[in-house]
Amino acid sequence: MTSGRGLWITLEGGDGSGKTTQSALLGRWLEDSGRAVLRTREPGGSEVGQLIRDIVLHHRGDIAPRAEALLYAADRAHHVATVVRPALERGDIVLQDRYLDSSVAYQGAGRVLDAEEVRDLSLWAAEGALPDLTILLDLDPADARARLDSADKPFDRLEAEKGEFHGRVREAFLALAAGEPERFLVVDAAGSPEAIAAEIRARVETLLR
């Protein structure tokens, strides 16, 4: 375990799978039970990361695939070193939207980059740090798209990718979860937010014991 005294939980899944909602519900529950919680995200969980987030999500025009992978890795390196590790050393519970599995799934799913190389790049960036638990909110990309459409927000660069891209991202996440069953909890994100939250709490409780 790389997390020091605290507990490190990441949430993964396609765009529109409900990560932010679940992170908020879990965070509130943990705080109500008296725990110190840090909610954060990638990209953009630090000041430097905000600048990188702006580039990777809102730059008009192409970014070369390797440059994009390096930008996410740079965000990750700074975030882990300056935000996540210090929080875990304090004993906090870190709840994080997205981590290196997103890089493997998204940057690897373009099929240009090798998934293993993308993962190794992130592991180098984060000095090998891996979460105690990764919650994968699994959802059919068509359902996720319907949720995003109804949210009426402009799409960022990755959200605007075609449906088949999101299908590959989903498969990549499921393959990652199958390869590391002890780190992952896969949740059917089509259920009600309350039912999903209860499933997540049950798993987190076992880690807190």
- Of 80-88, 156-164, 170-178, 192-200: span binding ligand TYD (CB under 6 A): 156-164
145-158 b/e (C-beta count within 10 Å ≥ 16 → b): beebeeeeeeeebb
Give whichever of 3 and 40 is closer to ligand TYD, judged by the CB atom: 40
Structure tokens at 78: 């700074």
Site for ligand TYD in 51-110 (CB under 6 A): 57, 72, 97-98, 102-103, 106-107
**In angstroms, what is the minimal distance from the CB of 108 to ligand TYD?**
10
CA dihedral 75, 80, 83, 86 (to 10 degrees): -160
Contact with ligand TYD (CB under 6 A) among 159, 165, 167, 199: 159
The verdict on whether omega for the bond into residue 86 sits within 30 degrees of 0, i.e. cis, is no
Size of the site for ligand TYD (CB under 6 A): 15
With both helix axes pointing from N to C terminus, report the angle between 115-125 and 65-79 in degrees, rounded to the nearest 10.
30
With both helix axes pointing from N to C terminus, report the angle between 163-179 and 141-151 in degrees, rounded to the nearest 10.
120
Pattern of binders to ligand TYD over 15-44, x per CB under 6 A?
A: x-------------------------xxx-
- Of 24-32, 123-131, 153-161, 196-204: span binding ligand TYD (CB under 6 A): 153-161
The verdict on whether omega for the bond into residue 154 sits within 30 degrees of 0, i.e. cis, is no
Chain positions contacting ligand TYD, by CB under 6 A:
15, 41-43, 57, 72, 97-98, 102-103, 106-107, 156, 158-159
